[in-house]
Structures are given as C-alpha cells and as structure tokens.
Amino acid sequence: MSWKSRKSALPPDNTHGGRQLARTLSWPHLIALGVGAIVGTGILTLIGVGADKAGPSLLLSFAIAGLICMCAALAYAEMATMIPAAGSAYTYSYVVVGELFAWVVGWSLILEYSLVVSAVAVGWSGYAAPLFHDWLGVPVSLMQGPELGGLVNMPAIAITLVVAGLLILGTRESATLNATLVVVKLVALVVFVTMAMPAFETANFTPFMPFGFAKSVSPDGVERGVMAAAAIIFFAFYGFDAIATAAEETKNPGRDLSIGILGSMALCVLIYIAVAAAAIGALSYHAFSNSPEPLALILRELNHPWAARYLAISAVIALPTVILAFFYGQSRIFFVMARDGLLPQSLAHVSARGSPTRVTIFTAAIVSVLAGLIPLNELAALANAGTLVAFAAVAFCMLVMRRRAPDAPRRFRSPFPWLVGPGAMLGCAYLFYSLPQTTQIYFFCAQLLGLVIYFAFGNRCSIAAQAASMGSI
C-alpha cells in the first residue's frame, strides 16, 4: 500500500516533461505576494464580522490570531528552505510523514484556497456593488447571492474569471501587477488611519470585552467572544502559505522564501493592529458590525465621503491581489497533487509560459460557483478550518525533522522550535474549537469525502503506488 510511502525532498527536475514550473520570482515578488494575500478581505471586510463577535476586544482577537500565525510562519520558513518544492504543507507532509497524511493536508489546502478565493471575491463585490449600482445601474439582485435576497453575485464571478486569466497569462507578469496593486491597497489603509485617528475616543473601548473571552452562544443565538472572533478573523492573517507554494518558481528559494514569509507576516501584523485600533476608536463597533464595507462606512460616518469613496475604489482595484495570491496557491497545490498522481495527471500540464493552465481553468469553474452563491461569513469560517489543519501539520513536520535530522542543512532555523511548534499546534487546535459548530461539521464531512476520493483513486494511481507495483513485478 502506498499510503505509508514518503517522497523525495528534492523538487522534480526537467525530466518531468511538460510538468516543470519556471523559476521567475525573487524575494520582492514574494513579499508582495504575501502582503497581497494577507492584507485584504480580512481587514477591509471581516473586521465588521469580528467586531460583532468580540466588540472592542477585537484588538485582542487580532493579536491572538497574529501570534498563532507568526508561530506557524516560523515553522513554514524553516520547512520551505529545507524542502524548496512546490506544494507547501502538502509537500512537507508527504516528505516527512507519508502519503495519507499528505492527502489530508492537501485536501484541506484545496478546501482552504477554493473557499478563500470565493470569500475574497464576495468581499470585493461588497465594495464594488455600490459603485456598479450608482455608476452603471446594475440591479442589486445580480450582485448578491440567494441567501442575501439576490439571484447570483455576478461581480464575484467576474473578478474570479479575470484573475484566472491573469494567471494563465504568466506567473511573473501576474506577480508584477500584484506588486503594483499592493501599493495601492497600502496607501488606502494609510489614508484610513490618517482620517480616523483624529476622531479617536477611548470611550469606544468600554466595555472592552462585552462577550467574554471563550466562545459562547449569546441570547440571539450567535457564537461570540474574543476567541470566536479570532477564529473568524484568523482568515485575515494567513496568506504567507501562498509564498511557500511558490518555492519551485523562486530563483533563490534558500534565501528568498524565509524573507518573503516572515517579512510579509511582520508587516501585516503591524498594519492590522493600527487599522483595527483606528476603526474602533473612531466609531462604536455597533455602527459597523457586519457591514460589507466597514472601513468605508466609518469614513462616511466621520463626514469624509471623498475618503470613503477613495477607499472603496482602492478596494475594488486592489482586493484582486488577494484573489490572485490565493488562486495562485490553489492552482499550485492542485498541480503538485496531480503531478504526484493523487489527482488526474492530465491536470498537471504546464503551458509554454510555465503556467499550469488546465488546473487554473478547472479551479476557476469551481470557485466561480461558490463565489456566486454562498455568503462571505460561511466561506471564511470553512476556509479557516482547512488552514488550521495545514498550519498545525507544518509545525508538526518541523518538530519531526528536528528529531529525525537535527543536523540537516537549514537556510533558516526557527528560534525556540520546541516553543514555536507546540504553540502553533495548540493555538490552531483552540481556534478550530472556537469555530462555529456547523463549520466543524461541514469540515469533517468534506474530509470524509476527500478520504473516499483518495482510496477510490489517489491510493491506486499515485506515483508511489505505481512504483510499488513495478517493484513487486
């Protein structure tokens, strides 16, 4: 049986005809990719969802989620430089533990990336819909999913297809455009903090923790608390794992991957704390809870309509960087799993430009349906479940390798690994517990479906299974 087998830590060479990704990225591209993935729907849209769950203690929720993600980022940086191959947590799991464990992690990543792209597309639509309605007269029913009273979220579908087209065009071209749009997004957040801080009132932080620390069900039936909010806005921090999926396309992975992962994560933690503090200090959290465009709403309430419009336009222009980064990661995970034979190998075809075109088209079809029909909060919560599994798996792999191969070359070594690794694993477990119960049920159902697919197809068709079959002849 191949489910116990492990694969080589080395990336494939050019003997994989038509299945080798081109090395075109350097560390500035990776930092831009990470910031583009991390700074997005989480701070521009989910800050309203988080405020509804935690009140002013949303700041603490951001700090806790950021700390757990920083531990995971340190583990990612070490593993990425040890195993500079595409696939991030899936590949590390395959090399360190084995095929079945890797499948569970890879299936979780597929779930994560598909839902993240869909969620960000819906978040983008939340900012774009008012502009489309005011300027072009597009009916609201065509810009919301059925659960919100509409027919289908056409802007979310449209932006998904546009980003898919960019990725098919080429990795370097997409990364360069991404870097430009990241600057637009960061300038918009600086404008928000600058305009909101003069209205800062300490009274808006009292009471600081109205719903308590642990997840609990409030009288209106909603799960609230600091950790309930952290479990949702955790969505706002991950994205650095998309950098790890770029290992095979990085010119100098031993150096550039750690710079990209840790640099983008540190920058984004600072940005998030500043924006969240300015938002809550400027306006009572009740006023922007669950708004599809909370930061723009705050600026309008502060009588800065031009700044609100600028922020909305910047979000419409720059939020696609998040879609691009996660779409990129999704296509690379899919690609590597197909190249390993766990998914149909016909999907692991690379175009003349070095892009996995077939996987990108297939992913776009799935994501478009999700973005068009499902609301943001449900997408974000389910995406978080898959990510928490992947983050815990990477921390576990780092600890295993510290025991198994303590002297192996590491271009980056995590400080305090026996604190960082367990911290990431236990933190992810607590955040998973803090997710809505329905989300946990959906996640386990999705994992059962994944195991059915693995034992029906992947376990028989993987490269490892074929090699074992040849060896037994």
In terms of pLDDT, which residue wins out, 69 or 37? 69
pLDDT of 20 strictly over 70: no
Could you count the other beta carbons within 10 Å of the beta carbon of residue 281? 18
Exposure class string for 62-90: b at 16+ Cβ within 10 A, else e: bbbbbbbbbbbbbbbbbbbbbbbbbbbbb
Average pLDDT value for residue range 367-388: 74
> Averaging pLDDT over each range in 3-7, 16-20, 304-308, which range is the top one?
304-308
- pLDDT of 472 reads 47
Secondary structure in 3-state letters for 309-376:
HHHHHHHHHHCHHHHHHHHHHHHHHHHHHHHCCCCCHHHCCCCCCCCCHHHHHHHHHHHHHHHHHCCH
Percent of the chain with pLDDT over 90: 17
CATH class of 21-467: mainly alpha
Residue with tokens 């776009």: 364
pLDDT digits (tens, 9 = 90+) for 165-187: 877 766 555 566 666 777 887 88
For residue 177, what are its two tokens?
């455009």
In terms of pLDDT, which residue wins out, 20 or 17? 20
Percent of the chain with pLDDT over 70: 84
- Residues 6 or more apart whose CB falls under 8 angstroms from that of 81 comprise 253, 254, 257, 258, 410, 411, 412
The span from the CA of 222 to the CA of 216, in Å, is 8
- pLDDT of 377 reads 61
Q: Please choose, from the candidates 453, 446, 169, 257, the residue with its C-alpha nearest in 3D space to the C-alpha of residue 338.
A: 453
**Any idea which of 37-46, 63-72, 329-338 has the lowest mean pLDDT?**
37-46
Cis peptide before 305 (omega within 30 of 0): no
> Averaging pLDDT over each range in 140-149, 194-203, 380-389, which range is the top one?
194-203
- pLDDT of 314 reads 81
pLDDT of 42 strictly over 70: no
- pLDDT of 397 reads 95
The span from the CA of 106 to the CA of 114, in Å, is 12
Average pLDDT value for residue range 431-448: 88
Report yes or no: 382 and 441 within 8 Å, Cβ to Cβ. no
Average pLDDT value for residue range 414-423: 93
* pTM of the predicted structure, to 2 decimals: 0.78
Conformational region of residue 18, where left means phi above 0, alpha means psi within -120 to 50, and beta covers everything else: left
**Any idea which of 7-21, 179-193, 433-447 has the lowest mean pLDDT?**
7-21
- pLDDT of 448 reads 94
pLDDT band at 6 (very low <50, low <70, confident <90, very high): confident
Average pLDDT value for residue range 407-414: 84
pLDDT band at 429 (very low <50, low <70, confident <90, very high): very high
pLDDT of 298 strictly over 60: yes
Exposure class string for 372-402: b at 16+ Cβ within 10 A, else e: bbbbbbbbbbbbbbbbbbbbbbbbbbbbebb
pLDDT band at 303 (very low <50, low <70, confident <90, very high): very high
Report yes or no: 268 and 73 within 8 Å, Cβ to Cβ. no
Q: Please choose, from the candidates 392, 460, 452, 385, the residue with its C-alpha nearest in 3D space to the C-alpha of residue 422.
A: 392
pLDDT digits (tens, 9 = 90+) for 206-224: 889 998 888 888 777 778 8
Decide: residue 52, CB within 10 A, 0-12 exposed, 13-18 middle, 19+ buried. Answer: buried
Report yes or no: 192 and 311 within 8 Å, Cβ to Cβ. yes
- pLDDT of 13 reads 47
For residue 342, what are its two tokens?
């766990």
pLDDT band at 121 (very low <50, low <70, confident <90, very high): confident
> Averaging pLDDT over each range in 109-123, 142-156, 384-398, which range is the top one?
384-398
For residue 257, what are its two tokens?
């991957």
The domain segmentation of the chain, as residue ranges, is: 21-467
Mean pLDDT of the chain: 80
Report yes or no: 373 and 152 within 8 Å, Cβ to Cβ. yes
Sign, CA torsion 224/225/227/230: positive
The span from the CA of 65 to the CA of 151, in Å, is 35
Q: Please choose, from the candidates 444, 410, 408, 367, the residue with its C-alpha nearest in 3D space to the C-alpha of residue 121.
A: 367
The span from the CA of 107 to the CA of 112, in Å, is 9
pLDDT of 15 strictly over 60: no
